[in-house]
Amino acid sequence: QVQLQESGPGMVKPSETLSLTCSVSGGSINNYYWSWIRQPPGKGLEWIGYIHSSGSTKYNSSLKSRVRISVDTSKNQFSLRLSSVTDADTAVYYCVKDRLGDADFDFWGRGALVTVSS
């Protein structure tokens, strides 16, 4: 069974860059799509973007100018960078396995709370 674990700083200053890494265990990262999804406090879920193990990406247009997702197949990890953060980026960030790349999400991490605060 695939397991995902988010890691990274729990607090980021406004205007700086949020960085998170997702470690995948129990299976290979190769040949699959991997997404980031976030949930601000008291709000719904928002899909941020995905990466395929080949390196191809797709981002939510609402965040596209600030987001970069990368993959390191040798480490079975993928990462999220979100630049120029504001209070509105405070959220629980989930790393997720895409079942097909354009459908639903079949495995999730437990999530990492990232707070934007000076």
Partner 1 sequence: EILMTQSPAILSVSPGERATLSCRASQSVSSNLAWYQLKPGQAPRLLIYGADTRATGIPARFSGSGSGTEFTLTISSLQSEDFAVYYCQQYNYWPRTFGQGTKVEIK
Instruction: Provide the binding-site residues for partner 1, judged by CB under 8 A.
Output: 4, 43-47, 58, 60-62, 94, 99, 102-111
75 vs 99, which CB is nearer to partner 1?
A: 99
16 vs 27, which CB is nearer to partner 1?
A: 27
| Smallest gap from residue 110 Cβ to partner 1 (A) | 5
Q: How would you label 38-74 residue by residue, b for 16+ Cβ within 10 Å and e otherwise?
A: beeeeeeeebbbbbbbeeebbbeeebeebbbbebeee
| Smallest gap from residue 115 Cβ to partner 1 (A) | 17
| Smallest gap from residue 9 Cβ to partner 1 (A) | 20
10 Å CB burial of residue 102 (0-12, 13-18, 19+) is exposed
| Smallest gap from residue 109 Cβ to partner 1 (A) | 6
CA torsion angle for 84, 92, 53, 100 (degrees, to 10)? Answer: -130
16 vs 40, which CB is nearer to partner 1?
A: 40
